[in-house]
Amino acid sequence: MRFTPDHEFIDASADVATVGVSDHAQGQLGDIVFVDLPEIGAKFKKGDAAAVVESVKAASDVFAPASGEVVAVNAKLADSPSLVNEDAQGAGWLFKLKLSAPDELDGLMDDAAYAEYLKTID
């Protein structure tokens, strides 16, 4: 699993990766009330706004941590956006990307680097 400075995670296996917000991000957002997911087939470049997570505090863009095409979305979030709060890096995933440039993951933080990064911003 890799992380961005904007608190997205990406978990790649082969050329398909699961994307969502980190546990830290969901904690900062508070109670998630709505998730606007991308369309299957949408293509994003690394850094593009791909989804929106709305909480009682704010609406936040979720940026694509790598380039690719959306091949699945977490339909459960339509009825249960709170899954993001309950299990952000598991059942609360947002979408899956078929990676077009897997080498883009090399520049992202691993668990240890992300934990250190969090210490610098809290």
Verdict on whether the full-model pTM lies above 0.85: yes
Confidence band for 122, pLDDT divided at 50, 70 and 90: low
Residue 42 and residue 50 in contact, taking contact as beta carbons nearer than 8 Å: yes
Q: Which two tokens stand for residue 40?
A: 């299957």
18-76 pLDDT tens trace: 999 999 999 999 999 999 999 999 999 999 999 999 999 889 999 999 999 999 999 99
pLDDT digit string, tens, across residues 2-18: 999 999 999 998 889 99
* Nearest-angstrom CA–CA distance, 18 and 96: 4
**Which domains occur in the chain, in start order?**
2-101 (2.40.50.100)
- The arithmetic mean of pLDDT across residues 93-118, rounded, is 96
